[in-house]
Structure 1
Amino acid sequence: MSDEAPPERRRMVRPPSGGTAAGRGLGQKLKTADKRSLSSQQWIKRQLADPYAERARAEGWRSRAAFKLSEIDDKLGLIRKGSRVIDLGAAPGGWTEVALKRGAAAVAGVDLLPIVPIPGAMLIEADFTAPGVDQQLIDALGGPPDLVLSDMAHNTIGHRKTDHMKIIALIEIAADFAIRTLKPGGAFLTKSFQGGDLGEVMGRLRAAFDEVKIVKPGASRKDSAEVFLVARDKR
């Protein structure tokens, strides 16, 4: 990786979270772990000890995140057969795979990172916050979505308050997009964090959806502050 600061447009990039050993280069990481930072080595150790990461590799999912969406969908029935789904922050493609496997007729995903093609999905390498990208996704689906998923995340800079504000900003952007574009009866799911200042966005969602709740699937690590915000039955 270059020592130069990343360009501003890469503000949605996040570290990998699972996937196959080949797809994520885990074998190479093990060979060169002694040359990597402490945080990288800790990530590798967590992946090797994580039963969901191992299960993802065994079952061929691109990401352990597939189990998070699957568990939430088992409980709440977000993915309907024949539905149109938009996946924001889609790389490496685990949520897109789940949506297609569970009967979505069309899935359009976007991420700053390139995504290996997935049959049945339209995947765009772009910054979702750039002008016109939202419309590209809707055009790729052939119409408004029934479900909007968001796993977008900023590159962290190590300043807790600033990082937190950026995370909340992305949640607000995804929520506004869902409110603006979803079909009546549609649903929205986004990654969030415990303790997040979500009062304003929760208020907007409650005004637009019949049900809004926070869930934490078993596939989320217990020591992680990660939770998921779900809004169902758009009015």
Structure 2
Amino acid sequence: MGSQWSRDKVYLRAKSEGFRSRASFKLIEIQEKFAVIRRDDNIIDLGAAPGSWLQVLRSLTDARVLGIDLNPIAAIEGIDTLEGDLTDPVIQQKAQEMLGIVNIVVCDAAPKLSGHKSYDQARSTALGEEALAFACNVLKTGGNFVIKSFQGADFPELLASVREHFHAVKTYSTKATRKGSTEIYIIAKNFKG
């Protein structure tokens, strides 16, 4: 990696602690603040590659953890993975068959960025809406949902959509997020079903 990464303390810490990316600390921080995951929760991680959130999820639950991504995910002990599109009904059905009850859906996915802020933000919101639709299709009533998004013109619409489906919804910017980033997480608890 280039010099950008050699100066990134969170990235260097992630590597030294055996995590696949700095994103691990974002999920750890979210769990510490909001307690979205219980020891017996079955969890689906959407957009799971390279697998850093899967590594953290494995330590937070004794139940089943499934990662779904368009790209292959290198094996992690105790983790199942599916390679495919989260909008594909076949993938959604396979995920439910593999886990049975789904208590939590998390999504740290982001579209490939073009550098055009408004375009990238719109694509991020569209991905968020797809992840929300997936969660609404598979989550059990009372389940939780955590999703990354980016603040911008379309963000309030996504936030409003999440609020329609969950009883408690908050937004949160993690300390591990790079300075200047518009990245924000939506923490949604107690799915209405």
Q: 1:36: which partner in 2?
A: none
Report whether the alignment pairs 1:189 with 2:152: no
Aligned residues: 192
User: How far apart are residue 159 of structure 1 and its match?
Assistant: 3.9
Q: 1:85: which partner in 2?
A: 43
Among 68, 89, 95, the alignment partner of 2:53 is: 95
Going by fraction, where is strand more abundant, 1 or 2? 2
Deviations 1:90-112 (A, max 9, x none): 01111111111112411111112
Unaligned runs of 5+ in 2: none
CA distance in 2, matches of 1:100, 1:46: 29
- After TM superposition, which residue ranges in structure 1, 4 or more long, deviate above 6 angstroms? none
CA distance in 2, matches of 1:181, 1:129: 12
**Of the two, which has the highest radius of gyration?**
1
Report the 3-state secondary structure (helix = DSSP H, G, I; strand = E; otherwise coil) of the residue aligned with 1:120. coil
Q: 1:31: which partner in 2?
A: none
Q: 2:119: which partner in 1?
A: 162
Q: 1:15: which partner in 2?
A: none
Unaligned runs of 5+ in 1: 1-25, 27-43
Deviations 1:56-84 (A, max 9, x none): 11111111100000000001001110110
Report whether the alignment pairs 1:177 with 2:112: no
User: How far apart are residue 131 of structure 1 and its match?
Assistant: 3.5
User: Residue 137 of structure 1 aligns to which amino acid in structure 2?
Assistant: A
Q: 1:148: which partner in 2?
A: 105
Q: 2:77: which partner in 1?
A: 119
User: How far apart are residue 200 of structure 1 and its match?
Assistant: 3.1
CA distance in 1, matches of 2:89, 2:144: 24
Report whether the alignment pairs 1:221 with 2:178: yes
CA distance in 2, matches of 1:182, 1:45: 41
User: Residue 55 of structure 1 aligns to which amino acid in structure 2?
Assistant: R
